[in-house]
Amino acid sequence: MARKAKTWAEKMNAPEPHIELTDKPFAGIPAGTRMLISSPRELAAWLRDHVPSGHTITVPALRLALAEARGAQAACPLTTSIFLRIAAEAAWDEIDAGAKLSAVTPFWRAVDPKSELARKLRCGPDWIAHQRDTEAA
């Protein structure tokens, strides 16, 4: 019997953040680096608490900020991108259900509208660009 796919909200409940010591180079991160494996919830909370309306953050800057907050030297680029998508899609589900933008994770402040991630999201790059422009005004 096939398992039912998890919802984006269920995916937000990933394991707690933890730090791993890299044993070999990974995605530009040298061996021996204390690397944070964050979580969708931690990432979402950090965006809500640290990136105000009208401001944006790049994914590399977000990774560095998350790592520093946990005492790590780097954050995993792969899982950070996955967790950002999970947080974005969960927020989009909330928006579809009628939530106000002020009540959801402001993923558009970290997702570049020209990025591959923006093209994957259900909201699409045009909505992200529009939201960024609206907040900047």
pLDDT digits (tens, 9 = 90+) for 32-45: 999 999 999 999 99
- Quick one: three-class SS letters along 48-64? HHHCCCCCCCCHHHHHH
Question: Cα separation of 86 and 12, whole Å?
Answer: 7
Residue closest to 83 by CA, chosen among 6, 17, 28, 29: 17
Residue 3 has pLDDT above 90, yes or no: no
pLDDT digits (tens, 9 = 90+) for 82-126: 999 999 999 999 999 999 999 999 999 999 999 999 999 999 999
Domains of the chain: 17-23+31-136 (1.10.10)
